[in-house]
Amino acid sequence: MPKASDIILKQAEQLRERINFHNRKYYVDDSPEISDAEFDKLFGQLLDLEEQYPELVSADSPSQRVGSKLSKKFENQPHRIPMLSLQKVTTAEEFAAFDKRVSEGLESDTAIEYFVEPKLDGLAVELIYRNGLFETGLTRGDGSTGENITPNLRTIKTIPLRLSDVCASKYPLLEVRGEVIMRKSDFLKLNETLRANNQTTLANSRNGAAGSLRQLDSKITASRPLLFYAYGISDKELKGIDSQRAAIDLLISEGFKINEQARSAVGKNKVEKTFEMLTKKRPTLNYEIDGMVIKVNNFEQQTILGQIARAPRWAVAWKFEAEQAETILMDVEFSVGRTGVVTPVAKLKPVQVSRVTVSSASLHNEDEIRALDIRIGDTVVIQRAGEVIPDVIEVLLEHRPKNSKPIIFPTKCPSCGKAIKRPKGEAAYRCQNFSCPAQVAGRLIYFASKAGVDIDGLGEKLAGQLCQKNLVNDPADIYFLKKDDLLPLDLMADKRAENLLAAIDKSRRAELPKIIAALGIIGVGETAAKILAAEFTDFDKLLNSKQARLETIAGIGPVIAENILAFFSNKSHRRLIDKLKKGGVKFLPYKLKSKAGKLLGKTFVITGTLSKPRPYFKKLIEDNGGKVTGSVSSSTNYLLCGSEPGSKEAKARKLGVEVIGEDRFKALLT
């Protein structure tokens, strides 16, 4: 093939610049300057050149947005900085309480400056730019680890493939976070096209965006009308970027699409008025939103406020009131969960709520049924908040038919037939049979899930078969399965059985946080499991821990501490742990990934005005192996105290925590 001359190289570069310019005018600025036909002509010229001279093709070329070859699967990749979830409020009173906590945490008497924006109903992703080039794109995943969907994200026109030279030079690594959405109008057009081609239509625009992004064939993603709205950056210590507002300004200058409703709001009252305004605007917007995100604007203040186990203390999502609908209660079924709780589930005449067809709703427990005076045949009001199963919130008694039937709670477990009991002080009935098939299946599914020890191939259907055939009576039994046990099962061939046994064997060496989470202790999910593993490092130490010790761990608290103690004091659970060990589960010590240093294992709290911003001292502590928390407790080793320290100093002295100034702090580092 001929080699491109300097003239051809320059021509290709000019075409790329013109196409990128018009892409931005059309998709980001919503102000196109040329017709679609003219744009297609430019794009065709570039494709012709790149086909004739393949060396012209680069990762940031607009031609790379058309999709690539079919992928076999998405690989998991950790986020350098976790993508935290947000705490939620639903009323002005709840937001006022959040604002009060922020003011107290900052020890501030002045109005807090917030940055607010609509909470888009799409899929959160992270874009990683290295030396100005879009290198990797990840889903949020579990917050710590996401799926690498880079080829699919490359197809989205509102994602720049290259940043400016100035930005690349100043920020060699830039991680941009935002939401991928499908506009209402685009969603309707797409469904019309799918319907015309006799293809399955999409349920709603959010599912449309998420499903389009998770296509293994990125050419399908390229055909879908997706938009990326940037809402921030991951690293809060970039030079010259000291606030959310500054981060947004940087993203705007680099060609990212930012929601037009995003703005600063100083003080609680201004935030409340902005929320009221957004609520009124919601029906007229061409995209789905389910609330407003509110962030403390200043990054240093964010650092001071810190975070709890899974969410920052400096941000909150103010959700809109849930949508409601009327329908008829046709029947009630009772399900049994992995903890033995018997839950009444309302079977409804299908109805649309929040653009989703609903046929089931939660009735919670017997007390709730009595309080509502609900009967089979009643017309009821259901409410759907977020993506969870709806609740029945009201019975329309004026529509009650004469043949309505009262709901009678079972006296025996619907799964195993054994008697169920309502423990004193609890609202729920529980099946006390630890070997109950529904509980066993539920525990097994959770144990093998990605949140647990992650056994690939052991899903709900297979777990049900294993329990029905009495091959598994608790999660430990999977480690004693043999190939001959598996082959008689439905759709189980030699290769699938071998792959499953290999996955089970791999799970024997799962990291300690995975094993702790897999046990199913109430309140101990992935985040709390990681905290416990890092704190104790050895499983037997956790197994024999005391409540007083557990309550001092940031992110655990008294309720979870009680649940942990109750779990490990249960003889059945102890037998399960022994059986797991006999089955070859290693319970390997957890290797801390924190840096070694002179402050290793020491916990600091920072307060008052110091000679440099708090992030400087926080980074210094962490670089030397220490940890910084937001509040003083008996587990705090040092309170680094500047001028005007506030109440934290008094609390530290009361608890006997050593209070140090900057000179003493420097001495600790030498």
Distance CA 52, CA 601 (A): 61
The β-bridge partners of 347 are 331, 360
For residue 229, the surrounding DSSP H or E stretch is: strand 227-233
Angle between helix axes 205-213 and 184-196 (nearest 10 degrees) is 70
Strands (DSSP E) along 523-645, which ranges? 603-607, 627-628, 638-641
For residue 15, the surrounding DSSP H or E stretch is: helix 6-23
Q: Is 382 exposed, middle or buried (0-12, 13-18, 19+ CB in 10 A)?
A: buried
Judging by DSSP bridges, how do beta strands 603-607 and 638-641 pair with one another?
parallel
- Structural contact between residues 112 and 102, judged by C-beta atoms closer than 8 angstroms: yes
Q: Is 119 a catalytic residue?
A: yes
Distance CA 555, CA 564 (A): 14
Angle between helix axes 460-468 and 437-448 (nearest 10 degrees) is 140
End-to-end CA distance of the chain, in Å? 64
Distance CA 87, CA 447 (A): 27
Distance CA 648, CA 641 (A): 9
Angle between helix axes 557-569 and 571-582 (nearest 10 degrees) is 70
DSSP 115: E
- Structural contact between residues 247 and 74, judged by C-beta atoms closer than 8 angstroms: no
Distance CA 590, CA 261 (A): 45
Q: What does the block give as tokens for 115? A: 């940055």
Distance CA 167, CA 643 (A): 37
Residue type, 3: K
Strands (DSSP E) along 298-368, which ranges? 315-319, 323-336, 341-353, 356-362
Residue type, 439: Q
Of 3, 10, 119, 482, the catalytic one is: 119
- Distances in Å between the Cα of 495 and the Cα atoms of 134, 486, 501, 635 are 39, 11, 10, 52
Q: What does the block give as tokens for 290? A: 């389910």
- Structural contact between residues 209 and 180, judged by C-beta atoms closer than 8 angstroms: yes
List the helix and strand counts (H, then E) for the chain. 25, 24
Q: Please tell me whether residue 268 adopts helix, strand or coil conformation.
A: helix
Alpha helix segments (H runs only) across 54-123:
92-106
Catalytic residues: 119
